[in-house]
Structure 1
Amino acid sequence: MLQQVFLQFLAVTVSSTALYEDASRLPTGKFDFIVVGGNVIANRLSEDPNTSVLVLEANPSSNPTLRYSLELRNDPPTGFQQSLFGLSSGFVLGGSSSINGMAYTRGAADDYDQYAHTTGDNGVSLTGDVPAVLARIIETTRELPDNFPFNLDYNSGRPIGVARAQSTIKNGMRSSSAISYLADKYLKRPNLHVLVRAHVLKLVNTAKPGHPPAMTQVEFTQGGLRVRVQAFKEVILSAGSVNTPVILMHAGIGDRQELSKVGLPTILHQPSVGKNVSDHPVTGIGWVVNSNDTYDELFRNMTVFNEVLAVWNRTHAGIAGTNNLLMNCYKRLPANYSIFQTFEDPSSGCNSPHLDFYFYVSAVNFPVASADEVDMQNGGSPTAFPVEKNGFAMSVMLMTPSSRGSVTFTSNDLFQQPLIGPGALKTDFDIFVVREGVHSWVNECDDGIDEYIRNNAITTWHLTGTAAMTAPDTGYGVVNPDLRVKGIKNLRIVDISIPFSPAAHTQAPTYIIAERAADIIKSAWK
């Protein structure tokens, strides 16, 4: 979407003085904790000066002149999934928080209460002037209070309504996990070591024969050399919803039949690994507006573009220091809708939204055409937004998906990209909700809107659930509420692969999980 154009402005450099580019320069090969990819958990654990922490990061440190993303393979979609393509992941220190759209949404308190109820961990429960254009939107909420009530803060735990968008931007610059948790003052800690360009090959089982598996060693490659490091206490996987299950499966933790197909031995039969994938599919609509108060000229006129960039380079001010997100609206379907007579509501509670609408101050580079230019009754095929006109755009995002997919692989080569099946929009419930979302803004017949969704829905890269957290006594799931991998000693998972899909963009929930995990792990090792 359009905000991606701003990413090159909002990238920032992490000081390389405290980062290791060469494994041979590490002070030792043994650490209390080895963290695969997690900046937040590494920061919090290293607050104790007597605790040594090594972070293994496959990616380079960030550079403001480069854009890092890794395009991932996904299953050829069918039906309503025919346009769900282009999965990517952040290939840079800070992961996807260094390349995402910077939306900061925590989700409903009901989401976290449901985590607590499901897992038995009560610790995860969550008990200025507005510019004229925002004022006009607020006026609309007054005219339509039932459909679009005004909400001062959608991060209060009760997100439903229209609110000003909140983003992880500070002083015109992106605030990623690398910037916030690996700033110079943290990297100067003598007990925190961050090694970049370290590609994990496998977790090593060091348990004696006849004992439960224990993963206390990590083998990785850097510059063609294979290196093995030892954790005195724990290995913590924070590699994300795609790479975490892949690393587990290559360690022999996964479905026995699937591992056998690619020649991998099974250490622990765990069929839930890589399953239960959910995503937030999104489509969009743009409108031609009779206003010059948009960002469209920035993308049509290189002179204007260069002027804006020059201002940002000098001061980090101006529209290049934004992500184009204007307002946000969370909406919940009425309880009396007929769809709930057939399908159980997948949302976590009455304060959890089914839909998320984001509003953008431009439509030139929006991935779908203006609603004014699309005949939804005749195929819904997109046409380019009129280049010479100004636009206002909106995304329609499904926040409570009932569809599920999987992450698998076709080779025992860890450098071979996994096969990702997001599984989005496979159920009638999901299609109904997105259709209702479009209906909120466009008066069209169902068939026309369905075709429009079929042609225009894309992924948001919000994959979750591939290493699901469940109660200790359940027969499914990958981790217990203490984040330990079921049946494995010395191994925890701390990332967005463990929760069910939150009714929020996944950046903030990832931070919340990591902060909670730090408390759990610190308490366990007192």
Structure 2
Amino acid sequence: MTSQTYSFIVVGGGPAGCALAASLAKSSKRPSVLLLEAGERNDDRALKVAGKRWMTFMESNLNWGYKTTPQEHCSGRQLDYSRGKCLGGSSAINFGVYTVGARDDYDQWAAELEDDTFAWKNMQARFKDLETFAGAIARPENRKYGAPQAVDHGDKGALGVGYAAEWESDLPLVLDAFEEAGLPLNPDHNSGNPIGMSLMVNSTHDGVRTTAVDLVKNAPANLVVIADSPVQRVLVEGKKTVGVEANGKHYLATKEVILSAGSLDTPKILMHSGIGPGEELKKFNIPVVQDLPAIGQGLKDHPFTSLLVTRNPETNDRNSFFQNPDAISAAMKQWEQDGTGPWARYGCQLGSGWFKSDRIAASDEFKALPADVQDLLNRETIPHYEIATHFPVHHLMPQMFQDYSYICIAVFLMNEQSTGEVRLQSSNPDEPLLFDPHFLEHPYDRRACIEMYRHLLELTEHPAFAKDTISTVMAPASKSDEDILQFWRDNVSSSWHMTGTVKMGQAGSKHAAVDKAFRVFGMENLRVADMSVVPVLTNNHTQATAYVTGATCADVLIREYGLDQQ
């Protein structure tokens, strides 16, 4: 069999993989880098409309279409577990939120690894290198909702992120109502402190979705990108990794293979390569190369649910657009011309905030947590939950809507204490793993979900908000613990923020599978750089964390191999 040889092979063309591959390829030594993506190239610009980013995950050719196992604590439901299947990975199908999390997240990561590589001051520098931030707010009366400082943002990176140029008319009304109801404003979530209500930062620029592809678009010729090439296994000689197999083809690496296929697929590739929980591998007749029980364990996510109310149509003009096919068609033509118009306004700017709760902190369930967990949750920048308003749910459930004068508010649990797993179901490497997040299993999670949803109900009952509400469409039957929890069980969804299944940790830790240099324990020339290694589920929408994880691994490799030495 003929094989192609490269210095580095990166498996997975999502945010982590693209950040990693682009950085390696652009280093001074210009090593040969191969980026392998399981899905298609995804070159269709029509899938990058800012206002349609809520629908892209429905493109079946771009989505693996994963589901969880039936969830015991969620009324036995199987939940959507979408993952991008194309160049750009999940950045091509997600909802376009770009938030970096809390500085205490990264300082905790650094503390656990005893390595400042992961400390906020260094991670923030990488975030700034990745982005070009558009933080201008056109209307003077709206500038109170966002006041980002230049010192916290980049202006030369390949990822265009920021605020939408135009907003829906009722967004300021809701932000004002929430402020009157007691929510503090935050001038910038991406400063390292997400606490407070603010404008959500979007992974869009000039009306166009930003994806991980933007990082590799102008890469030098020493970066080779091959799509439609799912990797079934890594190739090993003893404990040394020499390459990968993709659809029967062998690609060889003289230096390193780095897996960046994400928290659901990186463990699969490892397991089918004989690297993982030995007893499980033996059940499926997979020869054990390296017994690592932590692989597939440690799954974390951000479960969420929503509240939906109809509103006074005079507060917004959504009906004039979404009830008018001619307006929708004309808007698409305008977007195709210059990226402006209604498709760069409707659904393009949300308000969101991260919050702490005295009720949660005072609960018996909180007090029963280990002391170190309580300490983390009590730190200045660590929230208990997130609230996001103006989620355009009609794109997901069009059959529900004839009247678009509604507001959908989503509430997300941060720092969940339930821990899930992914595990083999077949000896066939093209079969997905079984995904079991164990949502709502832990008593703390159930208590936190009750209290944060109760707070959301109180916000929407405040006169400043309620004066424009006509009816409630989707909410618990009452504010009792039992009804709120049942509502969660019946309606909870995954945020697609799957993290921690090939966890980074100290050597010898039974909960870890890779070291602080991203190296798989016990293996040579094999690393993992994606959300599966992240040991702290960051308090954000995690695509930003995936980007910075890839960039951090690149820094480690560039330093280790002297790739920036002239």
Match of 1:243 in 2: 265
How far is 1:329 from its partner?
Answer: 1.2
Match of 1:199 in 2: 230
Q: What SS is found at the alignment partner of 2:249? A: strand
How far is 1:514 from its partner?
Answer: 1.2
Q: What is the CA–CA distance in structure 1 between the aligned matches of 2:170 and 2:67, rounded to whole Å?
A: 40
Matching residue within 176, 181, 191 for 1:139: 176
Could you list the runs of 5+ residues in structure 1 that have no partner in the other structure?
Answer: 1-22, 208-212, 369-383
Maintained 8 Å contact 1:296/1:362: no
Match runs of 1:77-476 below 5 Å: 77-80=71-74, 82-127=76-121, 128=137, 129=139, 130=142, 133-140=170-177, 142-145=179-182, 148-178=183-213, 180-183=214-217, 185-186=218-219, 189-207=220-238, 213-221=239-247, 226-292=248-314, 293-295=316-318, 298-321=321-344, 323-334=347-358, 335-344=361-370, 345=373, 347=376, 349-360=379-390, 362=392, 364-365=394-395, 387-388=402-403, 390-442=405-457, 444-476=479-511
Q: What is the CA–CA distance in structure 2 between the aligned matches of 1:452 and 1:365, rounded to whole Å?
A: 22
Change in CA separation of 1:504 and 1:302 when aligned onto 2, cut-off 3 Å: same
How far is 1:363 from its partner?
Answer: 5.2
Match of 1:517 in 2: 553
Q: What is the CA–CA distance in structure 2 between the aligned matches of 1:420 and 1:362, rounded to whole Å?
A: 27
How far is 1:367 from its partner?
Answer: 6.2
Maintained 8 Å contact 1:325/1:358: no
The question of 1:43 aligning with 2:22 is answered yes
Identity over aligned residues, as a percent?
28
**Equivalent position amino acid for 1:313 in 2:** E
- CA deviation string 1:424-483 (max 9, x = no partner): 111111111111121012251111111211111111111100000112342330110111
- CA deviation string 1:260-293 (max 9, x = no partner): 1111011111000011111111100111111341
User: What is the TM-score normalised by the length of structure 2?
Assistant: 0.79
Q: What SS is found at the alignment partner of 1:155? A: helix
Match of 2:41 in 1: 61
The question of 1:502 aligning with 2:538 is answered yes
Change in CA separation of 1:297 and 1:418 when aligned onto 2, cut-off 3 Å: farther
Number of positions where the alignment pairs a residue of Structure 1 with one of Structure 2: 471
Q: What is the CA–CA distance in structure 2 between the aligned matches of 1:350 and 1:456, rounded to whole Å?
A: 31
How far is 1:158 from its partner?
Answer: 0.7
- CA deviation string 1:178-237 (max 9, x = no partner): 1x2111x21xx2211111111212111123xxxxx111221111xxxx211211110000
Q: What SS is found at the alignment partner of 1:442? A: helix
Maintained 8 Å contact 2:298/2:511: no
> Structure 1 stretch 334-343 or stretch 113-122: which is displaced more?
334-343
Match of 1:33 in 2: 8
Maintained 8 Å contact 1:153/1:159: yes
How far is 1:246 from its partner?
Answer: 0.3
Maintained 8 Å contact 1:36/1:239: yes
Maintained 8 Å contact 2:305/2:411: yes
How far is 1:63 from its partner?
Answer: 3.3
**Equivalent position amino acid for 2:9 in 1:** I
| Aligned CA-pair RMSD | 2.2
**Equivalent position amino acid for 1:328 in 2:** S
How far is 1:325 from its partner?
Answer: 4.3
Change in CA separation of 1:260 and 1:393 when aligned onto 2, cut-off 3 Å: same
How far is 1:82 from its partner?
Answer: 3.5
Q: What SS is found at the alignment partner of 2:264? A: helix
Q: What is the CA–CA distance in structure 2 between the aligned matches of 1:81 and 1:248, rounded to whole Å?
A: 32
User: What is the TM-score normalised by the length of structure 1?
Assistant: 0.85
Maintained 8 Å contact 2:24/2:30: no
Q: What is the CA–CA distance in structure 2 between the aligned matches of 1:78 and 1:308, rounded to whole Å?
A: 44
Maintained 8 Å contact 1:324/1:360: no
Change in CA separation of 1:219 and 1:359 when aligned onto 2, cut-off 3 Å: same
Q: What is the CA–CA distance in structure 2 between the aligned matches of 1:88 and 1:428, rounded to whole Å?
A: 27
Q: What is the CA–CA distance in structure 2 between the aligned matches of 1:259 and 1:232, rounded to whole Å?
A: 28
Match runs of 1:467-486 below 5 Å: 467-486=502-521
Q: What is the CA–CA distance in structure 1 between the aligned matches of 2:280 and 2:211, rounded to whole Å?
A: 36
**Equivalent position amino acid for 1:97 in 2:** S
Q: What SS is found at the alignment partner of 1:233? A: strand
Query: Which structure has greater helix proportion?
Result: 2
How far is 1:50 from its partner?
Answer: 3.2
Change in CA separation of 1:143 and 1:162 when aligned onto 2, cut-off 3 Å: same
Match of 1:12 in 2: none
- CA deviation string 1:104-152 (max 9, x = no partner): 111100100110011112111113332664443443354344xx11001
Maintained 8 Å contact 1:278/1:423: no
Q: What SS is found at the alignment partner of 1:242? A: coil
Maintained 8 Å contact 2:66/2:82: yes
